[in-house]
Amino acid sequence: MFEPAAAGLRNGPRSGAFEPSGQYRARSCGCNRLGLTAESSQNAEDYVRRILVDRPVKGSDHRRGSIVKGEDVKAQFDSYSQTYDTTVNAAIGFPVLNVDFFTKAKAQYLVRVLTERFGGDLSRLDLVDVGCGIGNLHSFLGKAVRTMTGVDVSSECIGTARERNPWVDYRLYEGKKLPFADASFDVAFTICVMHHVPPTDWPLFAQELRRVVRPRGIALVFEHNPYNVLTRYVVSSCEFDRDAVLLTGRTAKRVLTEAGFTDVVIHHILTIPAANHALQQVDRLFRRLPFGAQYYALGVA
């Protein structure tokens, strides 16, 4: 499932936690397009950290937080299988910037990445969505790829996803080992799921992504940006985002690298409401700065 600010809000509301050990480090190549140096970008990051990261959201503690585990996660998302969209929309609180808006935006970013990586013909690609929830994203992709597979720990969410997208192969799993053979997919992606995984299991989660991706395939990890104040507010307001641990782009990059991915990059997205191609082009100018509502980490297998 997704997360708050970008279309599927899976983060921790009242006791949502932030894992502070992985700060984002801006790179000069993207910053220079905006007339910024690497040093000024780093200063901007430090400022954001002081005013946001070092000041926890009211009613939460970004340094500590209990982690929802195993059966608790399954039961939690089972109970929201029919009300996921309305619950997220209530947390966002903006009629126009709703689940569909953010889901479509992330689907467009996903297609852009796949097109840039694999060329214009996506019909030869096999994709797996880890933590697919009720399959909101899949309807926006249509049948552009050869195969789409979704996997989740919630049987109720999988049931809803099958009703919505009968052309997708949905699987249930227990949350540890993915039910697929090695090198089964060209692309493995996961949207606002890792913050629901206990931090001690982040390495295993990333290793499983690496295991099922074919050589020179990619993994994409979309996550909430804990430096974004609106994201933190939405996360703190979402009923089923209790006890989540937000991770920075730097942490996501480290976890993917340690799992065996190479050429890992972090791009921040949704600094502005990128509702169309033109706005997405503007949004891309800010991808090296830690201000977007979300980010994605991309690693090559």
294 lies in some domain: yes
Structural domain contains residue 283: yes
Whether residue 141 lies inside any domain: the answer is yes
Domain assignment present for 182: yes
Q: For position 122, what pLDDT does the model report? A: 94
> Does 226 map to a domain?
yes
What is the CATH classification number for the domain harbouring 243?
A: 3.40.50.150
Separation in Å, CA 285 to CA 29, 150, 272, 273, 290: 11, 32, 11, 13, 12
Q: Which residues 6+ apart lie within 8 Å of 40 measured at CB?
A: 31
209 located within any domain: yes
Strand pairing category for 294-300 and 262-269: antiparallel
The total domain count for the chain is 1
Q: Tokens in use for 247?
A: 């991770």
End-to-end distance of the chain based on CA atoms, in angstroms? 23
In a domain, 2, yes or no: no
Residues of the domain holding 125: 17-300
Question: β-pairing, 169-172 with 213-224?
Answer: unpaired
In a domain, 7, yes or no: no
pLDDT, block means (10 residues), the chain with 301 residues: 33 36 34 40 45 36 34 52 48 53 87 93 96 92 92 94 96 95 98 92 97 98 92 75 84 98 96 77 86 95 97
Strand ranges, E, within 126-255: 126-130, 147-152, 169-172, 185-191, 213-224, 245-247
